[in-house]
Amino acid sequence: MTVNALSRRSFLTMTAMLPWALRAAGATQLPVGLELYSVRNALKQDPTGTVRAVAAMGYQCVEFYAPYFEWTESQTKEMRKLLDDLGIRCYSTHNDCSYFGAQKISRARDLNLILGCKYVVMSSSHEKAGPDGWKTVADSLNLAAERLEPSGLKAGYHNHQTEFTPDGGVRPIEILAKNTKSSVMLQLDVGTCIEAGSDPVAWIQANPGRIRSLHLKEWSPEAGRGYSVLFGEGVAKWKDIFAAAESVGGVEYYLIEQEGSRFSELDTAKKCLDAFRSTHPA
């Protein structure tokens, strides 16, 4: 699985920092992790080296996205061993909607169990617009939940802009929340919620106990900036969001996500974590 993409000097520096970084990370009450799409190019070239580097920064968990589904059972076990050796967790994975179908749900279940996950999250639905289409998505989430729960796993759904954009007078995310079991996690992508014109705090408060993880994606309305700003450089009111998530949302862990910035992927991940720590109340 490994290709030596990281420079030897960078790797050794980060590895040397690992014990200190993990101790320092304990100051945060809830685990903070990285959605590994943030470092997708590095991950593709050097999976194990990238995960080691992320752990060395002080991240306490990671979230693998769809390509993990192509791993063999042996590769998945190797990754789990690495996570255990580093002392970090994988609480959830991001999955294409097809992984929730009858032909793939068993494989998704098995790989997630190996990784030690709690949630199998649908990252996109590809459904046609309209209330009926979104009710179909809700039905698929409920069915997946029924198939996963006997193994101790839960289903989840991750929003993008579409789910918070009104369609026929109602936001699709409201249809999903209303028509899914309470056990289905509503994983909130903060940046896309804001870009669509919705208030993440109000959404969290309206769905107590269901916002069990958040993607801490920043967004700026300034031309040419959008999602390229670092954590804290956009318009998200993070302290209010954290307060809502931790008082009523039921958040269990946070995940920083960045689609690309003026810095390298790994530098971006480190700078965002530093900014999170200076913002989140200890």
Domains of the chain: 8-279 (3.20.20.150)
* 62 Cβ contact partners less than 8 Å away, ≥ 6 residues apart: 33, 34, 35, 36, 51, 54, 83, 88, 89, 90
* pLDDT given for residue 21 in this prediction: 41
* pLDDT given for residue 281 in this prediction: 77
* pLDDT given for residue 70 in this prediction: 97
- Spatial contact of 232 and 275, defined as CB atoms under 8 Å apart: yes
Work out the mean pLDDT of the chain and round it to a whole number: 91
CA distance linking residue 39 with residue 27, whole number of Å: 24
* pLDDT given for residue 29 in this prediction: 82
- Spatial contact of 185 and 210, defined as CB atoms under 8 Å apart: yes
Percent of the chain at pLDDT exceeding 90: 85
In tens, the pLDDT along 78-111 reads 999 999 999 999 999 999 999 999 999 999 999 9
* pLDDT given for residue 3 in this prediction: 37
* 26 Cβ contact partners less than 8 Å away, ≥ 6 residues apart: none
Confidence of residue 137 (pLDDT cuts 50, 70, 90): very high
* pLDDT given for residue 165 in this prediction: 95
* pLDDT given for residue 168 in this prediction: 84
On the CB side of 238, CA atoms within 13 Å amount to 20
CA distance linking residue 202 with residue 199, whole number of Å: 5
CA distance linking residue 67 with residue 96, whole number of Å: 10
3-state per-residue secondary structure call for the chain? CCCCCCCHHHHHHHHHHHHHHHHHHCCCCCCEEEEHHHHHHHHHHCHHHHHHHHHHHCCCEEEECHHHHHCCHHHHHHHHHHHHHHCCEEEEEEECHHHHCCCCHHHHHHHHHHHCCCEEEECCCCCCCCHHHHHHHHHHHHHHHHHHHHHCCEEEEECCCHHHCCECCECHHHHHHHHCCCCCEEEEEHHHHHHCCCCHHHHHHHCCCCCCEEEECCCECCCCCECCCCCCCCCCCHHHHHHHHHHHHCCCEEEECCCCCCCCHHHHHHHHHHHHHHHCCC
pLDDT tops 70 at residue 5: no
Percent of the chain at pLDDT exceeding 70: 89
* pLDDT given for residue 256 in this prediction: 98
* pLDDT given for residue 2 in this prediction: 47
pLDDT tops 50 at residue 23: no
In tens, the pLDDT along 153-207 reads 999 999 999 999 998 889 999 999 999 999 999 999 999 999 999 999 999 999 9
pTM comes to 0.89
Q: 126: left (phi > 0), else alpha (psi -120 to 50), else beta?
A: left
